[in-house]
Chain A
Amino acid sequence: MSDAVVTLHGVSYGVGSRRIFSDLSLSARRGEITAIMGPSGTGKTTLLRLITGQVAAQSGEIRVFGEDVRAMDREALYALRKRMGMLFQNGALLSDLSVFDNVAFPVRAHARLPESVLRALVLTKLHAVGLRGASALMPTELSGGMARRVALARAIVMDPELLIYDEPFVGLDPISMGVVVRLIRQINETLGLTSIVVSHDVDEVSSIAHQSYLLAGGKVVAGGLPETLRHSEEPGVRQFMRGEADGPVPFHYPADNYQDELLGSSPSGRT
């Protein structure tokens, strides 16, 4: 476990009285793609915010590159974030900048490069995601899949060591989805970086992950190779991995007795 880039140990986090995580532990190893799966509402995005230090956990230990995220001030966090890239659910491109300027944005913010070097760098990254030709477009002119690819180019432009994907497959058509899946794997292999992919698209993410975690109820309920998870006979894991409508996660939101409520005789019913 010495080659773990990200480790969470016994992490608890809650908002108000609502507990989101209790005693959560997982790790992501160098050079691998780690998938974090789970039903909607289990706090997958919150987990990423914990790892990147956007929110602070109440207890437990979060280490990224061996450093304790919880003990960092703003400056240390910014220094840490320069070593990581993040792909947001909808791309989060800056709407008043062109595609080129979006990709150039982190470079301009952190380095003084001659314009010609910057241009070459940005175009290389855009070429890698197949959108060199779209460099003059504005974000509003892009489709969802293209926006995400531009965001990917932006996330890798500073050559990060750790790349975090937040729901990269949501709302994409099958072709764009295939493109993004291929890009994630390609980037991971060619740049030799560590990736964390948060998703509930089981098949896509399982096809590229080296290691998978399944979150439910604020805990890791299963972890290991994607194959192991896929063939797990544990009912909760099975339901999620196979997409069954009913199981340990019930189809019905907890409610009063159906018949009583319709007839108006339930205690909470109106008269």
Chain B
Amino acid sequence: MIDSALSRIGRVGLFLVRVLSNIPAIFEQPRAVVHQIYNSGGRSLIIIMLCGLFVGMVLGLQGYDLLQRFGSEDALGIAAALGLLKELGPVVTALLFAGRAGTALTSEIGLMRATDQLTAMEMMAVDPVRQVVLPRFIGGIIALPLLVAIFNIVGLFGAQLIGVQLMGVDAGAFWSQTQQAVELDDVAEGIVKSLAFGLVCSLVAVYEGYHAEPTAAGVGLATTRTVVVSSVLTLLVDYMLTAAFLGA
């Protein structure tokens, strides 16, 4: 049990090394990377914005309810901004990313495996890791932080919508308190987290796809595993990074 878990971690690690050793090749295929940024990012944009809005609105409601008990509704902007920047933005976006873009990557690569496309590349002396995996991996890593930033902006807007428009928090206080309380470090924490989650989610998605059993059931299983493993790893890494940032 522990044995197989360890060897699994080892395999994923070796796979990462293999992908990274091909990094220079992305300069030979910038179009493929652009394509994958679109696949992973552009296509997830609508769902990310929608969810960002709702998360922000919920933050507005809950935050207002909590803060007005202490008579500090004005701090709603701080609560929403810090909540989004440091935690909800990166985590929720990563979970959605795993479900939307990660599964698409896994099933696409898995199907290429099942229909011999990857083997065909091997036979044409083209490394499928370089040709197929690398642009998707890099595309995902680039796309996620951008999605997180968009999620945060839309979420802030949603919180502002509820807090200022609906609950009557002073707009000036909302923004000026937010600007005062939020530090560059908080923003940096969010960016570091989203980069880490981008790496984790993209790596899991391409790994599961590449190593999928070449059958319909195998690809389905790999897709499910992508969601489960990415979600769990995202939350685990989130805890470790949060602890590291608070300790620092």
The interface stretch among B45-53, B68-76, B116-124, B236-244 is B116-124
User: Which residues does chain B contribute within 8 Å of A12, judged by CB atoms?
Assistant: none
> Measured between C-beta atoms, what is the minimum distance from A4 to chain B in Å?
21
Contact check, B116 vs A89: say whether CB atoms are below 8 A apart: yes
Residues of B within 8 A of A89 (CB): 116
Contact residues, A21-80 vs B (CB, 8 A): 52, 54, 78-79
B112 CB-CB contact with A under 8 Å: yes
Q: Is the CB of A90 within 8 A of B125?
A: no
Shortest CB-to-CB span from B8 to chain A, Å, is 19
Structural contact, A54 and B119, CB atoms closer than 8 A: yes
- Cβ–Cβ contact B122 & A54, under 8 A: yes
- The answer on a CB contact under 8 Å between B117 and A95 is yes
Q: Is A94 interfacial (CB-CB < 8 Å)?
A: yes
- In the assembly, what is the distance between CA of A85 and CA of B122, in Å? 11
Q: Does A19 contact B (CB under 8 A)?
A: no
Asked if A175 is an interface residue, CB under 8 A from chain B, the answer is: no
- Given contacts A86-B120, A92-B120, whether A106 and B115 have CB atoms under 8 Å apart is no
Residues of chain B within 8 A (CB-CB) of A52 are 123
Q: Which residue of B lies closest to A52 (CB)?
A: B123
| CB of B126 closer than 8 Å to a CB of A | yes
Label chain B's interface by main secondary structure.
Answer: helix
CB under 8 Å from chain B, chain A span 193-218: none
Most buried by B among A86, A89, A90, A92: A92
**A94 pairs with B120, CB closer than 8 A:** yes
Instruction: Evaluate contact between A110 and B125: CB separation under 8 angstroms.
Output: yes
Tell me the smallest distance from the CB of A90 to a CB of chain B, in Å.
6
Q: Does A109 contact B (CB under 8 A)?
A: yes
The interface on chain A, measured as residues whose beta carbon lies within 8 A of the other chain's beta carbons, has a size of: 23
- Is A109's CB under 8 angstroms from B123's CB? no
B119 A81 Cβ-Cβ under 8 A? no
Instruction: Establish whether residues A106 and B116, one from each chain, have CB atoms under 8 Å apart when the complex forms.
Output: no
User: Among A78, A88, A93, A94, which residue has its beta carbon within 8 angstroms of that of B125?
Assistant: A78
Min C-beta distance of A56 to chain B, whole Å: 14
Q: How far apart are B40's CB and chain A's nearest CB, in angstroms?
A: 15
Give the CA-CA distance A197 to B213 in the complex, in Å. 26
- Report the separation of the CA atoms of residues A106 and B97 in the bound assembly, to the nearest whole angstrom: 33
The minimal Cβ–Cβ distance linking B117 to chain A, given in whole angstroms, is 5
How far in angstroms is the closest Cβ of chain B from A100? Answer: 16
Interface residues of B in 103-135 (CB under 8 A from A): 111-112, 115-117, 119-127, 131
With beta carbons under 8 angstroms apart, the residue of B111, B115, B119, B124 that contacts A109 is B124
Query: For the complex, is A119 an interface residue (Cβ under 8 Å from B)?
Result: no
> Closest chain A residue to B123 by CB distance?
A86
Contact B117 A93 (CB under 8 A): yes
Residues in chain B near residue A95, CB distance under 8 A: 111-112, 115, 117
A82 in contact with B115 (CB, 8 Å): no
Residues of A within 8 A of B (CB): 52, 54, 78-79, 81-82, 84-86, 88-90, 92-95, 105-106, 109-110, 151, 154, 158
Binding site for A on B (CB under 8 A): 111-112, 115-117, 119-127, 131
